[in-house]
Copies of this chain bind each other. A is one copy, B any other.
Amino acid sequence: MSDTRTLILDTAEKFIRRGGYNDCSFREIATAVGIKSASVHHHFPTKQDLAAAVALRYAENFLATLGQALPAGATPQDGMARYCALFRSAFLDGGRACLCGILSNEAALLPEQVRAEVAAFAEANVAWLGNLFAGEDLESARRKARFIYSAMQGAMAASALNQDVRWLDDVTECVYRGVLWEMTATVLVLFP
């Protein structure tokens, strides 16, 4: 029961994850949806309107799956496990990198509207991760959150490039061994 607008967003998301902003063409979308390219412009006046809408919807779904907060009894390790698992399943869904990770690397090319949506996605990720280090000072928590987000996005790109999920798995294991190791001291304070 999906309307034309939703079909366009679905198709555009698929094409952007396939090959970035420029690999997503109005004419190809139109053919896939079964209308003409001029009709796509009726729903999304310009390409940046379309791409920004795709990025926003992707970010909302991603953060919804992540969950607003962790359940009461959860440890930071539980949170990290959920976070890494989400990236892993995103990669296994087509062997493609994160939509916002792909767009990040095209930053200089993107219209401001799209760039802003992608930056908001990154900030939301860092905020969520930062909560896992809530026992530490803000500076340190933010730094670690940026570290983990960067590593996961870099690993997604490398896994996509080599079509090999082991890049992602290697990075995940290092996050567990390294960062979480340091974390255990605070964990007991936060979750007694």
Q: Which residues of A contact B (CB under 8 A)?
A: 17-23, 96-97, 101-102, 104-109, 115, 118-119, 122, 142-144, 146-147, 149-155, 157-158, 160-162, 167, 170-171, 173-175, 177-179, 182
- Given known A-B contacts A106-B102, A106-B105, A109-B18, A158 and B179 have beta carbons under 8 A apart: no
Contacts of A105 in B (CB 8 A): 20, 97, 101-102, 104-106, 157, 160
A43 to B127, CA, bound (A): 49
Q: Interface on chain A toward B: helix, strand, loop, or mixed SS?
A: helix
Whether A174 and B143, one on each chain, are in contact in the complex, defined by CB atoms closer than 8 angstroms, is yes
Q: List 15 A-B contacts (CB under 8 A).
A: A18-B108, A18-B109, A19-B106, A20-B21, A22-B23, A23-B108, A23-B109, A105-B157, A106-B106, A107-B161, A122-B161, A147-B151, A149-B158, A152-B154, A153-B157
Number of copies: 2
Query: Do the beta carbons of A150 and B151 come within 8 Å of each other?
Result: yes
B146 and A170 contacting across the interface, CB-CB below 8 Å: yes
Q: Is the CB of A119 within 8 A of B153?
A: no
| Contacting pair B161 A104 (CB below 8 A) | yes
Contact A20 B18 (CB under 8 A): no
The listed residue with most B CB atoms (<10 A of its CB), out of A102, A122, A147, A150, is A150
With contact pairs A151-B151, A154-B151 given, residues A108 and B160 touching in the complex (Cβ less than 8 Å): yes
Does A107 lie within 8 Å of B160, measured CB to CB?
yes
Expressed in whole angstroms, the minimum distance between the Cβ of A20 and any Cβ of chain B is 5
Q: Residues of B contacting A119 with CB < 8 Å?
A: 161-162
What CA separation (Å) do A53 and B83 show in the bound complex?
38
Q: Establish whether residues B142 and A170, one from each chain, have CB atoms under 8 Å apart when the complex forms.
A: yes
Known: A105-B102, A106-B102, A106-B105. A161 touches B20 (CB 8 A): no
